[in-house]
Amino acid sequence: MACGGGTAGWLILDGVDGHATGAPGVLLTVTVADCIPVYLTVPQKRVVALLHAGWRGTIGGVLQRGVEVLKRHAFVRSVDIVMHCGVGICGSCYEVGSEVLTQFSGRPESGPGQLDLRAVLTQQGHALGVGEMTVSPWCSAHDRDEFFSHRASGGRDGRMIAYLGLPLA
């Protein structure tokens, strides 16, 4: 998780699954193919965070880390945070192997199965006490006419860019 300050110029961090800032004019970005962009904001404090939540980040606690960064740097409670899960692949389109399902269920799973990352992230948000949550109804695979989907295209599609920032004024 990277925290942006008020420095001039670009800050590009490869391999980082989330960014947070309270600086107006800084545009946080992440690229996603079918993963879920998670937008976090504390409107009263004018701070935002943008997370990239694939299955590894979701199981690895990227949402918890993002919430903790906002709480620590903005001196707020979880209930003050607003969360939105953006466009990504839906549970009925996202098939994963038994090794991934086992990590989410905590018990041995057999065969491939479906995984709904937005549902898992929403459950995690509730467990963390996030005050308000919304979820995009769009699926990157079902709605390929509108969005890129790595899985639905067989790896031929590009990436989408999720962005979030605070206006200058």
Which sequence spans correspond to the domains of the chain? 36-165
Task: Name the burial class of residue 88, with classes exposed (0-12), middle (13-18) and buried (19+) by CB atoms within 10 angstroms of its CB.
Answer: buried
Angle CA 16–113–130, to nearest 5:
45
Q: pTM value?
A: 0.87
Tell me: the pLDDT tens digits for 28-74? 998 888 889 999 999 999 999 999 999 999 999 999 999 999 999 88
In terms of phi and psi (left: phi > 0; alpha: psi -120 to 50; beta: otherwise), the region of 30 is beta
Tell me: the pLDDT tens digits for 77-89? 999 999 999 999 9
Q: In terms of CATH, what superfamily is 36-165?
A: CNF1/YfiH-like putative cysteine hydrolases (3.60.140.10)
